[in-house]
A and B are shown apart, each in its own frame.
Chain A
């Protein structure tokens, strides 16, 4: 671990010193030893604060959409495999220029669920990490300028725990049952839009929900408006969401948003053979017109 941190610090130091970047976004230790928090390093003397651990849950790519971060121009960023996919999607969608970004990839062997870590959990295991870690194929980031190997032991996945098990349960339900399940979940929504703010791919400067001439999506807290918001969020991220899970983590009322995201991702893969965030040169699946697109649904 110490070794990983030193490497990160050295890379950040060198990048800042040479002027290749003017900002490095990374993790630093929180006041609680089992929490990490984002760090914005602009001076070489601060590079020593950088760290990485099994508690580094945040997807730092979210900060790249912020104007106050953008103004730094050339930026270095510490990313896990999942977060790096967000970066790829941002590059695909022209929100980040590959030339302006130095990717400091870290090998990740799973992130401990924050609620367990807060209760003192320290071991990385199938039972303690996020569902996304169990289905992760990108423990080593796909694209990077620097790779920092992890000293942590590999995560052993036995397959005994089924990630996102609830999705199959829901798939088996009738449309009415599904509807009543989601109605109940969306009923909790308080329209705080934390899910949107935490999402690295929700980068519109004016969200559709803020368009008020006309107001397509009701902003009040009732059934229709809540469903409208949650559905439009799901649609706007289908074929784009890379599954970092930040929306669900940010949700103060615990709506299981990752079930929606993961279901959409599975359907997209099944129907179009496309997974988001794997290739910066790929065309986003819903930005492609192809003669061979299936059209059986047109009756």
Chain B
């Protein structure tokens, strides 16, 4: 006979302010099977939990219902308390009367009625609960990091330093990501490559890190502790172990015009066989077969091969698929800039001297196309006047994106500062909407750009840019003085908004993690679980989650690493036992369940008789993969699948309790 206890939580005034908790408690006492019902100010507090435990003991309760906040918050708290008194944790049910009642309703009487209904439903459910055992899955203690930018590098190093083997997969020929493209970094003006290359080298030399550059993750299946990963190592055409990185090959390459350097944001050319930048890690060139004369002209050109001392150029290397099993994954795929050409009025693409923020970084950089001397892309002269335009695409719900790209205020201030340092007597103008400089040393940095470096900040937007006698005429508004301004500039730098890396939505789909409408990966909880994705065993880092600066990216890489090291500190991972189970007697093997399963958790199972003859085929659930989402339950025509803890008879009884 069921002996159910109902505990109604006030949550201070959060619930009690809108729900008559005493009434809910009185109503609970009337439900058949309920032997005790109490209300308490904070059930999650120590005294609250103790009263739950005492009641389980004294009243010999077989199940408890907590009318309280969302199970996301405290289901585990109460389950643990119940377990201490010998109850199976799944005999604890939560009626969510906070998020689903008090926070969303105003009318106290009707809110109370709804709370009573939810409580009754859960009583009916708990009466029909069966004990459930959690599933334990073994962990393969190896991690995969997707994306070798600063956050991925940080994650890989931290995990590797924790003694765990890491696979770091980078799409480009070198690791380094966006950060290695930057010149100096705000607010301390350390040179980006000076602080980053030691980390890149450390990655390359680390005994626990296996680095795959010019490679992409092609397929991921499996589940936490046991992800099967396919990595495509694209044909580099260079035997890595023999290459010394001497450069004879790219110096011999006749293709030194017409191929734009991606690393230099199209501001210079590169050869067909190339390293993206001198400090590349690994310092092994890649032969770009889409432009190489050997591949385009039927094998005639072999200049690089001839020039190569150790003869490590191999035109016949093919794409290679590497299969690995890992226990956890970090998704740190990074970002791109928005397409500037959306803003025709700024003339990007039309006027050579209108450049993006990242292009200006390359113009500032000593390893860039101008060796750190600021020159106009059009004629190579040094600009004296530069106009910087902030929020190009960001904070623009009409044409761009509504969010703030977060780094532009700071890097624009840095650009203006470095311009003043490099070109004495020059003048910069910054069009801005607001200045957002909120981290340590940031506000002072921007102030310095204005006050010491003489940048003129104009609050307003630019309406139009056109060329006139070699100058870029910038027309805009200064909303603080109320005047229209017209500036004859030599260059214009657009602080373009950031968007997720192209193809990151495909990565998310491959990993089975959720992403927002812009394509940024979504955290399991925006505040309390910022490093975790929606899928167990997959963690997030860097700009792939949303705009952030370098320190935040580094922190997020470390956070993901610490989560993985924590996970790997045990030998097994416990998965909630609320997973699907098949009634083999009634299953007719139509496999609609398999088709709709988003987690590939359903497979075919043959039932054999004693002589080994297959007498029936049925669906079978892999407990490690199943998340208990219930898609299969809906798809099953004969109702032959149930999710444990959410069995058909329980749902039915819940609905019935409402109808009567």
* A93, A216, A291: the one within 8 Å of B591 (CB): A93
- Binary interface encoding of chain B residues 589-603 relative to chain A, with 1 for a CB under 8 A from any of its CBs, else 0: 111100110100000
A286 to B636: give the CA distance in the assembly, Å.
Answer: 11
On whether the beta carbons of B592 and A287 are closer than 8 Å, the reply is yes
Complex CA–CA separation, A95 to B638 (angstroms): 14
Is A214 on the interface with B (CB-CB < 8 A)?
yes
- Say yes or no for B57: interface residue by CB 8 A criterion: no
Name the interface size band of chain B: 20 to 34
| Nearest-neighbor residue (CB-CB) of B652 within chain A | A214
B343 within 8 A of A: no
Query: Whole-angstrom distance between the alpha carbons of A214 and B595 in the complex?
Result: 26
Assembled-state Cα–Cα distance A286/B635 (Å): 8
CB <8 Å contact, B509 and A213: no
Chain B residues, Cβ within 8 Å of A283: 595
Given A93-B590, A204-B588, residue A211 in contact with residue B635 (CB < 8 A): no
Nearest Cβ on chain A to B609's Cβ, whole angstroms = 14
Write out, one digit per residue, whether chain A residues 247-280 have a CB within 8 A of any chain B CB (1) or not (0): 0000000000000000000000000000000000
A202-218: contact bitstring with B at CB < 8 Å (1 yes, 0 no)? 01111110010110100
Hey, what's the 0/1 contact readout for A274-299 against B, CB within 8 Å counting as 1? 00000000011011110100000000
Inter-subunit contact B595/A208 (CB<8 Å): no
Contact (Cβ within 8 A) A208 B639: yes
A200-236: which have CB < 8 Å to B? 203-208, 211, 213-214, 216, 236
Contacts of B649 in A (CB 8 A): 213-214
Q: Which residues of B contact A94 (CB under 8 A)?
A: 589-591, 617
Smallest Cβ-Cβ distance to B509: which chain A residue: A291
Residue B382 at the chain A interface, CB threshold 8 Å: no
CB distance from B625 to the nearest CB of A (A): 16
Q: Does B103 contact A (CB under 8 A)?
A: no
CB distance from A2 to the nearest CB of B (A): 41
Say yes or no: is B637 at the interface (Cβ < 8 Å to chain A).
yes
Contact partner, B638, options A93, A205, A286, A287, Cβ 8 Å: A205
| Residue from B591, B598, B639 having most chain A Cβ neighbours under 10 A | B639
Q: Contacts A204-B588, A214-B648 given; indicate if A287 touches B596 (C-beta within 8 A).
A: yes
> Could you tell me if B596 and A208 are in contact, using CB atoms closer than 8 angstroms?
no
Contact: B648 with A95, CB < 8 Å?
A: no
Interface 0/1 of A28-63, CB less than 8 Å to B: 000000000000000000000000000000000000
Contact among A95, A213, A216 for B590, CB-based, below 8 A? A95
Asked if A289 and B637 make an inter-chain contact with CB atoms under 8 angstroms apart, the answer reads no
Q: How far is the CA of A288 from the CA of B597 in the complex (A)?
A: 9
B618-650 CB mask vs A (1 if < 8 Å, else 0) is 000000000000000001011110000000110
B456 at the interface (CB under 8 A from A): no
Most B CB within 10 A of own CB, among A216, A287, A291: A287
Please determine whether B595 and A288 come into contact, CB atoms closer than 8 angstroms.
yes
The answer to whether A208 touches B637 (Cβ under 8 A) is yes
Closest to A207 in B: B638
Cα–Cα, bound, A236→B596 (Å)? 15
- Asked whether B653 is an interface residue with its Cβ less than 8 Å from the other chain, the reply is yes
Q: Look across to chain B and name the residue whose beta carbon is closest to the beta carbon of A232.
A: B637
Cβ-defined partner of B588 (8 Å) among A205, A211, A213, A236: A205
B595 nearest CB neighbor, chain A only: A287
Residue B13 is within 8 A (CB to CB) of chain A in the complex: no
Q: Which residues of B contact A216 (CB under 8 A)?
A: 639, 648, 652
Select B592's contact among A206, A214, A286, A291, beta carbons within 8 Å.
Answer: A286
B604, closest chain A residue (CB): A94
Contact A284 B586 (CB under 8 A): no
B635, B637, B638, B639: most-surrounded residue (chain A CB, <10 A): B637
Contact indicator A205/B595 (Cβ below 8 Å) = no
Residues of chain A lying within 8 A (CB to CB) of residue B648: 211, 213-214, 216
Report yes or no: B596 in contact with A211, Cβ–Cβ below 8 A.
no
Chain A residues contacting B596 (CB-CB under 8 Å) are: 287-289
Contact A289 B598 (CB under 8 A): yes
**Distance, CA A284 to CA B598, complexed state (A):** 16
The interface bits of chain B over 567-595 (1 if a CB of A lies within 8 angstroms of the residue's CB, else 0) are 00000000000000000011011111001
Task: State the CA gap A252–B586 with chains docked (Å).
Answer: 28
A284 interface neighbour in B595, B617, B652, B653, Cβ under 8 Å: B595
Q: How far is the CB of A247 from chain B (nearest CB, A)?
A: 16
* Contact in complex: B652, A206 (CB < 8 Å): no
Measured between beta carbons, the chain A residues less than 8 angstroms from B637 are 204, 208, 236
Taking CB atoms and an 8 Å cut-off, the chain A residues in 117-147 that contact chain B are none
Q: Which residues of A contact B639 (CB under 8 A)?
A: 208, 211, 216
Instruction: Give the residues in chain A near B585, CB-CB below 8 Å.
Output: 206
Q: Which residues of B contact A203 (CB under 8 A)?
A: 588, 590
Distance in angstroms between the alpha carbons of A289 and B585 in the assembled complex = 27
A287 to B595, CA, bound (A): 5
- Specify which chain B residues have a CB less than 8 angstroms from the CB of A213 in the assembled complex: 648-649
How close is A236's CB to chain B, nearest CB, in angstroms? 5
For residue B648, give the distance in angstroms from its CB to the closest CB of chain A.
Answer: 6
Report Cα–Cα, A283/B598, bound state, in Å: 15
A95 near B652: Cβ-Cβ < 8 Å: no
Q: State in angstroms the CA–CA spacing of A95 and B635 once bound together.
A: 16
With beta carbons under 8 angstroms apart, the residue of B589, B638, B652 that contacts A208 is B638
Name which residue of chain B comes closest to A205, CB basis. B588
**A222 → chain B closest CB, angstroms:** 16
Residue pair A205, B652 in contact (C-beta under 8 Å): no
Whether A95 and B509, one on each chain, are in contact in the complex, defined by CB atoms closer than 8 angstroms, is no
- B133 CB, nearest partner CB in chain A, Å: 23
Q: Is the CB of B595 within 8 A of A204?
A: no
A206: contacting residue among B590, B595, B638, CB under 8 A: B638
Q: Roughly how many angstroms separate A236 CA and B592 CA in the complex, as a whole number?
A: 12
Q: Which residue in chain A gives the minimum CB-CB distance to B653?
A: A214
Compute how far the CA of A204 lies from the CA of B641 in the bound complex, rounded to whole angstroms. Answer: 13
Using Cβ atoms and an 8 Å threshold, which residues of chain B touch A291?
509
Q: Is the CB of A204 within 8 A of B638?
A: yes
Q: Residues of A contacting B640 with CB < 8 Å?
A: 206
Interface centre among A206, A211, A286, A288 (most CB of B within 10 A): A206
Q: Which 5 A-B pairs have the closest CB atoms?
A: A287-B595, A214-B652, A204-B638, A206-B586, A93-B590
Show the binding face of A for B, using Cβ within 8 Å. Answer: 93-95, 203-208, 211, 213-214, 216, 236, 283-284, 286-289, 291
A-B contact pairs, 10 of them (CB 8 A): A93-B592, A206-B586, A206-B638, A211-B638, A211-B648, A214-B649, A216-B639, A216-B648, A287-B592, A287-B595
Q: Given contact pairs A95-B590, A214-B653, A291-B509, enumerate 19 new A-B contacts (beta carbons under 8 Å).
A: A93-B590, A93-B591, A94-B589, A95-B589, A204-B637, A206-B586, A208-B637, A211-B639, A211-B648, A213-B649, A214-B652, A216-B639, A286-B592, A287-B591, A287-B595, A288-B595, A289-B595, A289-B596, A289-B598
